[in-house]
């Protein structure tokens, strides 16, 4: 099965170099969360999703089990497009519902990892022998306009990944996504909700240290890919709740003064003791805020689904017909 690849020509390498140079020469320092996910990082994140403290995956699965049939009936989609598809495990619930509704024709998983894409596509080909599966290797923040536009599409963006984008980037992403869609197309957006800050912090700072290992893994990626000489264990994992922005921040805190060489960039980065580098934000949403963001991007909200505890939400939004206010 062939994969359409928009990341050739050294795209990822150039993006990594650009992000690391910009982030580690800024004050305060930062790194984007997309670089967590090499093979080791993906395995660590899979472990995180099974932790008792980390509720979002379980809550989203609960919603999908209860509401996938409703989504299929409302959207009547023949093509499911999934942004950041990963292993496509949750996708099966949507694919089953669309198949049982008699509309499913095609599936387009979109991810940066070609190996994960190919493996998921092959696995789904066995489960759905007549499904036209068209994997696309792409960066969903950069290549939305290049995604296939055939069929009546349901675009799924699950897992609360929308919360990793800062507000300005989130606004741009939603508007660019809207621009690629046509009347009849729909979007299913997963978002974690504001709740007790103590619960939120525990979800990102488990006592077993799995999230800490995941956070430090970005330094191992830089060591391998950019000939850096970070000592990952010399950085503490930090997770905190930013009440003003209503997001969790993950940071890496230097435990002593350090100079780190990044050979591929010809760069030396100095860290003071206690200096923190932000590695992720994970915004949490309120219903009115999410609906407002989608409305301002040009979507018409059809349904707002939550789990029984009210921890997580899936929002189904449509493209209004032409000339609709």
SS in 3 state form for the chain? CCCEECCCCCHHHHHHHHHHHHHHCCCCEECCHHHHCCHHHHHHHHHHCCCCCCCHHHHHHHHHHHHHHHHHHHHCCCEEEEECCCCCCCHHHHHHHHHHHCCCCEEEEEECCHHHHHHHHHHHHHHCCCCEECCEECCCCCCHHHCCCCCCEEEEECCCHHHHCCHHHHHHHHHHHHHHCCCCCEEEEEEEECCCHHHHHHHCCCCCCHHHHHHHHHHHHHHHHHCECCCHHHEEEEEEEECCCCEEEEEEEECCCEEEEEHHHCEEEEECCCCEEEEEEEECECHHHHHHHHHHCCCEEEEEEECCCCCEEEEEEECCCCCCC
pLDDT value of residue 325: 54
| pLDDT tens profile 222-241 | 999 999 999 999 999 999 99
The mean pLDDT value for 173-188 works out to: 96
Token duo for residue 227: 């000939």
The mean pLDDT value for 84-107 works out to: 91
Asked, for residue 189, whether it belongs to a domain, the answer is yes
Q: 188: exposed, middle or buried (C-beta count within 10 Å: 0-12, 13-18, 19+)? A: buried
The CATH number of whichever domain residue 266 belongs to comes to 3.40.50.150
pTM of the complete model:
0.95
> 305 near 313, Cβ under 8 Å?
yes
Chain mean pLDDT for the chain: 94
pLDDT value of residue 219: 98
Q: What is the dihedral sign for C-alpha 68, 74, 79, 82?
A: negative
pLDDT value of residue 90: 86
The mean pLDDT value for 143-159 works out to: 94
With a cut of 80, say whether residue 306 has pLDDT above it.
Answer: yes
pLDDT value of residue 114: 81
Q: Can you say whether residue 168 is alpha, beta or left, with left for phi > 0 and alpha for psi between -120 and 50 degrees? A: alpha
41 pLDDT tier (thresholds 50, 70, 90): very high
Give exposure, 198-220, as e/b (b: 16+ Cβ within 10 Å).
eebebbbbbeeebbbbbbbbbbb
Q: How many domains does the chain have?
A: 1
Residue 161: closest CA among 283, 308, 300? 283
Residue 307's domain spans which residues?
1-320
Asked, for residue 255, whether it belongs to a domain, the answer is yes
Asked, for residue 325, whether it belongs to a domain, the answer is no
| pLDDT tens profile 96-121 | 999 999 999 999 999 988 888 888 88
């Amino acid at each position: 099965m062939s994969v359409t690849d928009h990341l050739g020509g050294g795209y990822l390498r150039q993006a990594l170099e650009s992000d690391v140079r910009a982030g580690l020469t800024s004050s305060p320092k930062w790194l984007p969360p997309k670089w967590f996910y090499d093979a080791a990082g993906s395995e660590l994140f899979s472990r995180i999703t099974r932790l008792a403290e980390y509720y979002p995956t379980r809550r989203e699965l609960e919603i999908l089990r209860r509401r996938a049939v409703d989504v299929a009936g409302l959207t009547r989609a023949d093509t499911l497009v999934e942004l950041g598809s990963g292993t496509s495990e949750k996708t099966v619930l949507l694919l089953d519902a669309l198949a049982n509704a008699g509309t499913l024709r095609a599936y387009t998983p979109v991810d940066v990892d070609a190996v994960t894409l190919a493996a998921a596509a092959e696995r789904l080909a066995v489960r759905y022998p007549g499904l036209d599966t068209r994997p696309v290797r792409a960066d969903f923040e950069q290549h939305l306009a290049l995604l296939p536009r055939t069929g009546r599409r349901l675009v799924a963006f699950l897992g609360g990944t929308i919360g990793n984008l800062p507000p300005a980037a989130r606004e741009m992403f939603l508007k660019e996504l809207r621009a690629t869609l046509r009347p009849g197309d729909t979007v299913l957006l997963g978002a974690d909700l504001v709740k007790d800050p103590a619960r939120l912090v525990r979800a990102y700072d488990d006592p077993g240290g799995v999230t800490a290992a995941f956070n430090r893994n970005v330094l191992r990626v830089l060591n391998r890919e950019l000939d850096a000489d970070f000592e990952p264990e010399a950085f503490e994992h930090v997770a905190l709740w930013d009440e003003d922005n209503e997001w969790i921040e993950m940071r890496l805190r230097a435990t002593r003064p350090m100079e780190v060489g990044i050979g591929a960039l010809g760069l030396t980065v100095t860290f003071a003791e206690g200096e923190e580098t932000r590695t992720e934000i994970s915004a949490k949403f309120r219903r009115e805020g999410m609906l407002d963001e989608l409305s301002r991007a040009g979507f018409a909200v059809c349904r707002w689904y939550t789990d029984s505890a009210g921890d997580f939400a899936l929002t189904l939004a449509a493209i209004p017909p032409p000339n609709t206010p």
